[in-house]
Structure 1
Amino acid sequence: MMIRFTLVAMSALISLLMWTKSAAANDELLERLTLPKGYEISYFAKNVENARQLAVSSSGVVYAGSRKAGKVYALIDHNQDGVADRQIVLAKNLNMPSGLALYQGDLYVAEVHRIIRFKSIDKQLSKPSFEVVFDNLPTDRHHGWKFIRFTESGELLVPVGVPCNVCAEDEKYGRIFSLNLQSKKLTTVAQGVRNSVGFDINPQSGALWFSDNGRDMMGDDIPPDEINRVSFDGEHFGFPYVHGGSVLDPEFAKGKTLADMQKYTMPKLALQAHVAPLGIHFYRGKQFAKALHNRLFVAEHGSWNRSKKVGYRVMMATIKEGEVAAYEPFISGFLDKEQTLGRPVAFAELVDGSLLVSDDYANAIYRVRYNNK
């Protein structure tokens, strides 16, 4: 009996030590992060396994998708102190449910092969259930995880990445689609897109902007990753023929010149190769300093395929008359020399205008606010 009690006590002590070590590591990471003067970062939620896209309901519930974890979360801040005090797993064992979006009180979640819906989600948190609303998407897991967003007209923007590093186009892949949930019709919004896992609509112009991850296996420094703007439905952004607006593909553009690529749309911003831009977000709130209103925030998830790591930070772009006028750091410190501490993914805003940032490596969601004192 004594032996059994001792083993139980040792197990509890080990669990406590592991939790303490994890908490200490989280606190250490927060202390390493740097932001512009006047901005503060804190944890909105910890232990949100593989946190990806975020959405905030009208009642303030924060929803988060995941990729490897296969879960969808609801995070509730009951006392509204900027820290979630309850976590609910709405669903698990899903097929990389990275992307989610709210529309008219319903939560839509994008798995690799389908879109599911939790109706009136805020009202059924105690007993959540979902239904399939669209299941005619490719089943390829390579670049199959998604980021989704609703347009003002109620159509759902859904990307489908290419199932390869670089390969010939197929009408099912390499596109951002607009899905009409009533007719189930898919319309191509953008094509020639290798793998977009983030987009947003500029609230000032109404134009769709999106990130795109460039191909691999061309070396450390080429080709650039991209930030793009859509001008018309069906616009072609060059993949697999030209990358980053400046690099011809050695296979698919063999014998061609950059002059031959003028029929394709070049990026609004060519980023450093392999920084892996994921979520992008136009800041719409009023809590930040006026100079940052309408800035485009970009989550550079970070490289996995480079001899020296790059990315691992949150950047912000200044957009003027449809062009990128400046691109500068907002949150740095997720990378310590070559040691990965965190990987930012996506954004959402709380009702008070503070900015949430998900991190699928540190399993956390951060809250950024401006201390105007």
Structure 2
Amino acid sequence: MKKHLIAFSLIILVLLAGVIFYLAQGDTAQLPPGADVGREPTFTAARSEMVPTINVAEAKPWHAGEHPTAARGLSASRFADGLAHPRSLLRLPNGDILVAETNSPPRQTGGIVSRVMNYLMGKAGAGVPSANRITLLRDADGDGRAEVKTAFLTGLHSPYGMALIGDTLFVANTDALMAFPYKTGDTRIVAKGRKILNLPAQAPNMHWTRSLVAGPSGLLYVGVGANSNIGENGLELEENRANVLEVNPKTGDYRIFASGLRNPVGLAFEPESGVLWGVVNERDMLGSDLVPDYLTRVEFGGFYGWPWNYWGGYEDRRVQPQRPEVREYTKRPDYALGNHVAPLGLSFAAGAKLGDAFRNGAFVGLHGSWNRKPAAGYKVVFVPFADNGEVGKAKPVDVLTGFLDSDGDARGRPVDVTIDAAGTLLVSDDVGGVVWRVASAR
């Protein structure tokens, strides 16, 4: 009992230190609303934080009959609920939806930092053990509600990304890319599966998610986040991390397709141009108004700055030794989504039947961050594109909001987004345990 009291007291002291440090700095959110989004975001001066800003929205999930707020002309309803921390989504050719019920693998609990992180994760609704399964959702009668909810694939290891090529379903566990035989209409896979490629999962395995998308040429693209904020754990722990890997699923051969992307969680191919795009979670502890998370083309051979630079060449002087010679090779992202909004889901609007306002562009799930004051994210937005497959100059449009209540508590946190066979938008909500359906109200 005494040991538990000492540990709890230390956690409280660390949290209090963070609060005191933050109050001493004053309100760091100085940008006007919307200044940190778009193709030309506004920047504030970098301010290194000894203790990160902590602003965790406590998880208080939805009550029966409640739902987030859809944009004008749209409606929100429950496609499926009662799920265990639903994250990534995949639509199968017959219209079935796969959802990964997953969370991070068990974290270290020996140190104070780990204990604090576990406490904060629990408060945010992310402290539940991983269900380690993929669940199939089927709406056979077309009423907008999945009447079939069944365990499709179990025994996984913190699965996240999913992709289907022909009769093979690929699943990105936190530590390996796996392949499973798939037959259209099946409601369960019992095959053990085969390993295609080991993926880096060294402790502490920060950014455990492994995004996955199949390319037009039959190759796979895996997003692997950094194992740290700015390499402070040692760059030897960052091998093949902060990258998008291009994988040949037949041979397991791979190469680094793009690098310097701190945490590329959502990946998708733009349908008109066939170009790979991604949403990226940028670095922390430079204040509430730095650094913008972003949406960008992911180009072969492209270097996007992490850890030495951000936003096309702004130097992060905390990183030592500096690498000034890489600045001229650092690509600038295409579109800022906001500071610390934590974008996770990305889906282009091809096939959507939500009206002309949402005809051409990208839907992005903003999970919301723990280290910005005031809170940012906690919504789904639409980023308009031009007809040539390039991102436009317009600001993002709110599609689904209301995940934060008037007390600042999180009723839910949006994760992934995808268009279903009926042209509606599906949104996974890990805190709420729900997959939301956003449809035209007309």
Shift of 1:102: 2.0
Deviations 1:114-157 (A, max 9, x none): 12233124454256334123132112331121121101111111
What is the CA deviation profile of residues 177-225 of structure 1, one whole-angstrom value per residue up to 9, with x for unaligned ones? 1110112111222111111110111111111111110111222221111
In the superposition, the TM-score normalised over structure 1's length comes to: 0.86
The one of 406, 414, 420 aligned to 1:350: 420
Which residue number corresponds to residue 335 of structure 2? 269
* Structure with higher RCO (Cα < 8 A, 6+ apart): 2
The gaps in structure 2 that reach 5 residues or longer are: 1-59, 104-129
1:152 pairs, out of 205, 212, 216, with 216
Equivalent AA in structure 1 for residue 416 of structure 2: A
- Which of these residues, 363, 367, 374, is aligned with residue 297 of structure 1? 363
* Residues 180 and 194, structure 2, Cα contact 8 Å, conserved in 1: no
The number of residues matched between the two structures is 346
* Partners of 1:278 and 1:301 within 8 A in 2: yes
How many angstroms apart in 1 are the aligned matches of 2:256 and 2:326? 23
Corresponding residue number in structure 2 for 1:331: 400
Q: Mapping of 1:113-192 within 5 angstroms? A: 113-126=175-188, 128-140=190-202, 141-167=205-231, 168=235, 170-192=238-260
Residues 1:126 and 1:239: Cα distance change in structure 2 (over 3 Å): closer
Q: Which moved more, 1:113-122 or 1:275-284?
A: 113-122
1:214 equivalent in alignment to 2:303: no
Give distance in 2, aligned partners of 1:270 and 1:87.
37
Matched-pair contact (CA < 8 Å) for 2:170–2:177: yes
Q: Quick check: 1:61–1:122 contact (8 Å CA) kept in 2?
A: no
Moved more, 109-118 or 273-282: 109-118
- The residue identity in structure 2 corresponding to 1:210 is G
The 3 A distance-change label for structure 1 pair 255 and 171 is closer
Look up the equivalent residue of 2:415 and give its one-letter code.
V
SS in 1 for 2:63: helix
Q: How far, CA to CA, are the matches of 1:336 and 1:268 in structure 2?
A: 32
Map of 1:1-373 to 2, 5 A cutoff?
25-28=63-66, 30=67, 33-68=68-103, 69=130, 70-126=132-188, 128-140=190-202, 141-167=205-231, 168=235, 170-230=238-298, 232-245=299-312, 247-252=314-319, 261-320=327-386, 321=388, 322-326=390-394, 327-337=396-406, 338-372=408-442
Asked if structure 1 preserves the Cα contact closer than 8 Å seen for 2:196 and 2:251, the reply is no
Rounded Cα–Cα distance in structure 1 between residues aligned with 2:354 and 2:185: 31
Shift of 1:308: 2.8
CA contact (8 A) 2:171 2:179 kept: yes
CA distance in 2, matches of 1:333, 1:234: 39
Change (3 A) 1:265 1:23: closer
Shift in Å, 1:23: 9.7
Q: Which secondary structure does the structure 1 equivalent of 2:264 belong to?
A: coil
- The alpha-carbon deviation at position 64 of structure 1 amounts to 0.7
Gaps of 5+ in 1: 1-21
Q: CA deviation at 1:90?
A: 2.6
2:245 partner SS: strand
- CA distance in 2 between partners of 1:188 and 1:137 (Å): 12
What letter is aligned with 1:154? G
Summarize the Cα distance change of 1:270–1:127 in structure 2 as closer, same or farther, 3 Å threshold. closer
Q: Deviations over 1:275-334 (max 9, x none)?
A: 001111111115221331122111110011224321100011112252332222111111
CA 1:43–1:234: 2 relative to 1, 3 Å: same
Task: Read off the aligned partner of 1:117 and give its amino acid letter.
Answer: A
1:339 is paired with a residue whose SS is coil
CA shift for structure 1 position 343: 0.8
**For residues 363 and 171 of structure 1, what CA distance do their matches in structure 2 show?**
34
Contact 1:26/1:362 (<8 A) preserved: no
Sort the Cα spacing of 1:26 and 1:98 in 2 relative to 1 into closer, same or farther, 3 A: farther
TM-score (norm 2): 0.73
Residues 156, 178 of structure 1: 8 Å contact kept: yes
- CA 249–129 in structure 1, closer or farther in 2 if over 3 Å, else same: same
Q: Which shifted more, 216-225 or 293-302?
A: 216-225
